[in-house]
Amino acid sequence: MSPSRSSIATFKTRMKAMILAAGRGARLRPLTDRVPKALIKVGGVPMVEIVIKRLVAAGVTGAAVNLWHLGDQVEAFIKERKGFGIDVRFFREEPLLDTGGGIKNAAGFLADSEPFFVHNADVLSEIDLNALYRAHGKSGALATLAVSDRPGPRRLLFDGEGRLIGREEAGRVLPRGTRAMAFNGIHVLSPEIFTKMTETGVFSIITSYLRLAKEGEKLLAYDAGAARWLDIGTPESLEKACAEWGKTRRSPYQNLT
């Protein structure tokens, strides 16, 4: 039986997201000495705006944004634009809590929703967010991670069914049928994750994922295939983004004195 229009409407109104925007962006200095990484422009548009608009297009109606380095600038920017039409809540961190700690810090806002997106603010992509969300909903997984078959440090390992089983280690021979995939910084989590996230304080969400996978929880890969993806975390990747994404190709570094 297909869902009724009213049930679909209820589902949509509860779709939320976590945007990880608190990082210092140390590798992008001196640019990030005065501009938070989330507000660096690509194609003339700040990264956090690009990410929020993509999430809104996927059906998100509420978002948590974590803040730390130059967080006042990020908050002011989003508020000036009326949250881009959705309910945006800000979660300040002191100290910086890393990805897992940041997500857990926003549990009060995220835990009562349907499965929710987590999206790094410094990631550009053309990954189909609707398809990612549908895949998560069909699988019953605790988390579904967008991944790609590309080089990267310490890639994640998945078995033949796409379940997370570990992390790549130098010199280790992979078991037959295992795939090493690079994580794209975009995932969908079921709110039940908060009852199983025993880590506290400052910790990476990947730490939680690897522990939960060992304990038998279902954490799945979503293969993004050939969809374009770029992390703007280094000067080289930022220059590439400015050259290839959008019509405004001027480098942000050109404005520095």
**Structural domain boundaries in the chain:** 13-255
What whole-number distance in Å separates Cα of residue 252 and Cα of residue 33?
Answer: 13
pTM above 0.85, yes or no: yes
133: buried, middle or exposed (CB in 10 Å: 19+, 13-18, 0-12)?
A: buried
Q: How many other C-beta atoms can be found within 10 angstroms of the C-beta atom of residue 10?
A: 12
Q: How many other C-beta atoms can be found within 10 angstroms of the C-beta atom of residue 176?
A: 6
Q: What is the DSSP letter of 79?
A: H
Q: Could you list the pLDDT tens digit for every one of the 257 residues in the chain? A: 333 333 333 444 579 999 999 988 788 788 778 889 999 998 889 999 999 999 999 999 999 999 998 999 999 999 999 999 999 999 999 999 999 999 999 999 999 879 999 999 999 999 999 999 999 999 999 999 999 999 888 899 999 999 999 999 876 777 788 999 999 999 999 999 999 999 999 999 999 999 999 999 999 999 999 899 999 888 888 888 888 876 544 444 444 32
2: buried, middle or exposed (CB in 10 Å: 19+, 13-18, 0-12)?
A: exposed
Q: Give CATH superfamily name and number for 13-255.
A: Spore Coat Polysaccharide Biosynthesis Protein SpsA; Chain A (3.90.550.10)
Which residues have CB under 8 Å from 115's CB, separation 6+?
A: 133, 136, 137, 188, 189, 190, 191
Q: What angle do CA 152, 157, 161 make, to 5 degrees?
A: 135
